[in-house]
Amino acid sequence: MAKKQNHHYSYLFLLPAGLIFFIFFLLPALSSFFFSLTRWNLTDWTFIGLENFQMFFKEDSLSIGFKNTFIYAFLTCGLKVVFGLALAVYLCSPIRTRNFMRAIVFFPNLISTIAVGITFNSLMHPTRGIINTFINTLGLNGPDWLGNVKIALLSIIAVDVWKGVGVATVIFIAGIMSIPEQYYEALQIDGGGSMDRFLHITLPLSRPAINSVIILALIGGLRTFDLVWSMTRGGPGFTTDLLSSIIYKQYSSGFFGLSTAGNVILFIMVSAIAFPVYKFLNSKEVDL
């Protein structure tokens, strides 16, 4: 009897965390699912079933939004893994200024994403931007980075990678620093070189860090909104529209039920991609 009472007593310690989770996470999520089935104007609602979902899939720019979202998510994810790992390997080498350079690499992540978007919007201006001014001094003509439909999305992706590679680098550095030094010493005794250190020790044993970066970057890329909106607002035309920017346009037009249905679809899409990738990556991890 006393053991049962102690068992119930321990659950009371979970109550504060459970309440916070319910109020700030579970309740908003359930409310979103409910309002996605309604015609909603913030003060009144009418239940309309799946009509919002049918209307959302008839959106003209939806196919462009899906395509751009996938391109954006997978390109930013891949580039952050490659550049982050390369920087981490370099910054773990015995260089004198590595602590200072680590701070430099991480610095862009401390800046607000909106501020980064506005700043690069100015830097990438076709006639007055510093980037094209520098290119012109070399005798070349700089492109319209954000106005050319062929490179506008790639320009935003480059800015996203510049801003986010610092976090990836920090995660990789933590992963590399956790590798026991004895492995490298054994390889050195066997005559292994720098490339052997990377291919046979650093890369396979950094797998948990690589998996973390892939999952975080992929989910962040699928949900991203603020950088794209602050740089192009989805333009020119719909060429840089993502799923999240389409949803925001519906919110700003007053279609709250419709845009909430879009958010539900985005949530399902992110979950459907992230969970299988997470499960697959975890199955390939090795123990140190």
Examine the pLDDT at 2 and tell me if it is beyond 60.
no
Return the SS3 of 288. coil
Banded model confidence at residue 9, pLDDT cuts 50, 70, 90? confident
Instruction: Go through the domains of the chain in sequence order and give each one's CATH number.
Output: 67-241 (1.10.3720.10)
CA distance 173 to 24: 33
Q: What are phi and psi for residue 179, nearest 5 degrees?
A: -75, 125
Gap between the Cα atoms of 218 and 263, Å rounded: 17
* Average pLDDT of the residues in 6-24: 85
What is the sign, positive or negative, of the torsion defined by CA atoms of 228, 229, 230, 231? positive
pTM metric for this prediction: 0.89
C-alpha torsion 83→86→90→92, nearest 10: 100
156, 164, 160, 150: which is closest to 124 by C-alpha? 156
- Of 80-89, 116-125, 277-286, the poorest mean pLDDT is in 277-286
Q: Is the dihedral of CA 17, 226, 51, 275 positive or negative?
A: negative
Say if residue 288's pLDDT is above 70.
no
Closest C-alpha to 262, from 45, 40, 67, 55: 55
Q: What is the DSSP letter of 12?
A: G
Average pLDDT over residues 50-71: 93
Mean predicted confidence (pLDDT) in 49-62: 91
Rounded Cα distance between 194 and 192, Å, is 7
Q: If we measure between CA atoms, which residue out of 229, 230, 271, 244 comes closest to residue 62?
A: 244
Confidence of residue 156 (pLDDT cuts 50, 70, 90): very high
Average pLDDT across the chain, whole number:
91
Q: Is 93 helix (H, G, I), strand (E, B) or coil?
A: coil
- Measured between alpha carbons, how far is 248 from 257 in angstroms, rounded to an integer? 12
Return the pLDDT at 10.
77
Question: Which residues, 6+ apart, have CB-to-CB distance to 226 below 8 Å?
Answer: 113, 114, 117
Q: Which is nearest to 32 in space by CA: 247, 224, 253, 215?
A: 247
In this prediction, residue 235 carries a pLDDT of 86
- Distance of alpha carbon 278 from alpha carbon 151, whole angstroms: 31
The stretch 39-46 carries a mean pLDDT of: 88
pLDDT digits (tens, 9 = 90+) for 68-113: 999 999 999 999 999 999 999 999 988 888 889 999 999 999 999 9
Q: Which two tokens stand for residue 103?
A: 């701070």
Name the band, by pLDDT with cuts 50, 70 and 90, for residue 148: very high
pLDDT tens sequence across 217-268: 999 999 999 999 999 999 898 899 999 999 999 999 999 999 999 999 999 9
Q: Please write the tens of the pLDDT for every residue from 31-42.
A: 999 999 999 888
Token pair, residue 41, equals 């104007």
Listed in order, strand segments (DSSP E) in the chain are 38-40, 45-47
